[in-house]
């Protein structure tokens, strides 16, 4: 078989080979599966074609002292569905779901959608909460699993081998927080859910972590402000929050990553870190090349970690986040690399209350 054996509309076939399982491989082997690899650089490779889901903000809630509010909102309604764009979208969604839920390898059995593959109730596990951006609000439930790597990177075999953990990836049926900073009731419901899952499974309350991009990054900041004992650390990607409320963040472990040409999140994060420093907390800062190699990113992370500060603020240099010729924004471009840097995830998973 060759790359001319199969054709996919609007896609470039880069590799075709047989394999014993439905997985990518450096070298194929005789088996019952045929793997067709497609170029990720194709315009049609995008899994989602909308900038915003069909959901809208519903209700409001202030940052009051204790968790309150519940929600019965369910994902669905308008917006693109997994598999609408390309065959590649369908494959990625299925793979992401299996990695996230830790599916049983035995043929014919359903994936366990509640806990890690080798869950042992006698052990104590960390938990990572991932909250998506507004672009996949009110779409298919797999949305958070395919909108970048923010949900699935923590569940990869490599990460689970180093830090076996629960990964809680939510799909919101409406926008939870926008630039008005008035969260819907889903904000407090998220905190309630984290506590509920902690009580239901063998999860260490001192090793719970939060992360998210854009709206999810904003929520990570807001939740740490309102619920200072809920998370041990946060990985904030392209998010912001009013600096007037940022004082509680001075006592938190944070890794912030944003592009310097993100016109909202970058100045917002600068203002927050200034408040943190004014409280006497040390902050490491650095400018990175957004198109660095994996080895260069690893060196960047080591350099920041060597400073041993509770807050790390890294920004991609202006003009380096978006590849030449790409039509995406610097804001969204940050997500494409943020969750592909293992060293940041390792740092997050080593923090505790």
User: Exposed, middle or buried, 19 (CB in 10 Å: 0-12/13-18/19+)?
Assistant: middle
At residue 243, the 3 state secondary structure works out as helix
Contact 231, 208 (CB under 8 A): yes
Let me know whether 35 and 157 are in one domain. no
SS3 of the chain: helix, strand, coil, percent, to 5: 30, 15, 50
Higher pLDDT, 317 or 39: 317
| Residue 135 and residue 227 in one domain | yes
- 285-336 per-position pLDDT tens digit: 999 999 999 999 999 999 999 999 999 999 999 999 987 777 788 898 898 8
Q: What is the DSSP letter of 325?
A: T
Query: Do residues 38 and 67 both lie within one domain?
Result: no
Q: Do 291 and 337 fall into the same domain? A: yes
Q: How far apart are CA 174 and CA 138, in angstroms?
A: 6
User: CA 40, CA 26: separation in Å to the nearest integer?
Assistant: 17
User: How many domains does the chain contain in total?
Assistant: 2
108, 40: one domain: no
* Domain shared by 85 and 23, yes or no: no
8 plus 78 within the same structural domain: no
Burial of 5 (0-12, 13-18, 19+ CB in 10 A): exposed
| Degrees, nearest 5: CA angle 124-126-132 | 150
Domain, as residue range, for 16: 1-45
| DSSP β-bridge partners for residue 53 | none
Q: Which of 56-65, 94-103, 165-174, 312-321 ranks highest by mean pLDDT?
A: 312-321
Using one digit for the tens of pLDDT, what is the confidence trace for 119-147?
A: 888 999 999 999 999 988 887 777 788 77
| Domain co-membership, 111 together with 33 | no
């Amino acid at each position: 078989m060759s790359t001319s054996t199969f054709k996919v509309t609007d896609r470039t076939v880069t590799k075709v080979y047989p394999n014993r399982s439905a997985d990518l491989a450096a070298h194929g082997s005789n088996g019952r599966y045929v793997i067709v690899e497609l170029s990720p650089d194709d315009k049609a490779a995008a899994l989602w074609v909308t900038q915003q889901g069909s959901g809208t903000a519903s209700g409001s809630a202030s940052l009051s002292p204790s968790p309150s509010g519940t929600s019965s909102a369910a994902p669905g309604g308008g917006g693109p569905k997994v598999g609408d764009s390309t065959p590649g979208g369908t494959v990625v969604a299925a793979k992401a779901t299996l990695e996230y839920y830790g599916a049983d390898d035995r043929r014919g059995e359903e994936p366990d959608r509640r806990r890690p593959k080798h869950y042992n109730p006698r052990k104590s596990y960390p938990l990572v909460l991932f909250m998506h951006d507004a672009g996949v609000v009110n779409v298919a439930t797999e949305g958070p699993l395919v909108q970048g790597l923010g949900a699935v990177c923590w569940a990869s075999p490599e990460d689970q081998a180093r830090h076996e953990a629960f990964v809680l990836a939510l799909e919101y049926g409406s926008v939870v927080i926008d630039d008005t900073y008035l969260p819907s009731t889903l904000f407090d419901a998220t905190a309630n859910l984290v506590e509920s899952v902690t009580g239901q499974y063998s999860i260490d309350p001192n090793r719970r972590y939060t992360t998210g991009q854009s709206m999810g990054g904003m929520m990570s900041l807001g939740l740490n402000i309102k619920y200072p004992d809920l998370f041990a650390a946060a990985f904030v990607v392209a998010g912001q929050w009013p600096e007037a409320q940022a004082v509680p963040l001075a006592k938190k472990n944070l890794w912030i990553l944003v592009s310097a040409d993100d016109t909202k999140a970058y100045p917002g994060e600068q203002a927050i870190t200034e408040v943190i420093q004014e409280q006497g907390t040390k902050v490491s800062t650095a400018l990175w090349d957004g198109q660095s190699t994996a080895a260069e990113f690893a060196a960047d992370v080591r350099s920041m970690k060597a400073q041993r500060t509770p807050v790390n603020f890294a920004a991609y240099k202006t003009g380096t986040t978006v590849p030449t010729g790409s039509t995406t924004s610097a804001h969204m471009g940050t997500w494409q690399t943020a969750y592909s840097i293992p060293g940041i995830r390792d740092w997050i998973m080593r923090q505790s209350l």
